[in-house]
Amino acid sequence: MDLKKYIRDIPDFPQKGILFRDITPLLADKDAFKYAVKAIAEHFKDKGIEKVAGIEARGFIIGAPVAAELGVGFVPIRKPGKLPFEVVRKEYQLEYGMSILEVHKDAVKKGEKVLMIDDLLATGGTAHAASELIEQLGGDIVGWGFVIVLKGLKGAEKLKKYDIFSLIDFD
């Protein structure tokens, strides 16, 4: 299935000079959405995954059904102040500012195999920070699944020690 036709380009969002790749048309199409979830799960199905971790918010939308497809639990990685239990946190640099991610300190057990999910890989700052959080908890990251990778921004270089799978690559 050609998923590129379900991606909408939005110039100057969230700020001038950024071209936002919007996956909401893909999510709205039942066949495209189902295909995306199944394709990511299929790529990682024989890796012994015990948890899927998704980054707020679009990583939740993709990651939770991937976890269900694989028959494993889901771990939300959230923005500050959104999780009700004790957390570990990571501050990191975005391409247009600073941000923070948090995860419950008991979300992953030492040695658990974790698949990481987000909608898009750009410069890799968010994905790298999320990886550090899961590894801080003792998780063993099996790989990263993305709907889109923006190759020209070289985010994959920050994740080179992981298996990176994407459904769509843009230069």
- Catalytic positions: 58, 95
The answer for residues whose C-beta is within 8 angstroms of residue 140's C-beta and 6 or more apart is 111, 112, 113, 114
124-136 burial by CB neighbour count: b if 16+ within 10 A, else e? bbbbbbbbebbee
- Parallel/antiparallel/unpaired status of strands 97-104 and 163-170: unpaired
Cα 68 vs. chain centroid, distance in angstroms?
Answer: 16
Q: Are residues 151 and 168 in contact, defined by beta-carbon separation less than 8 angstroms?
A: no
> Bridge partners of 117?
54, 145
> CB burial class (10 A; 0-12, 13-18, 19+) of residue 99?
middle
CA distances from 90 to 4, 31, 42, 71, 148 (A): 32, 36, 30, 28, 24
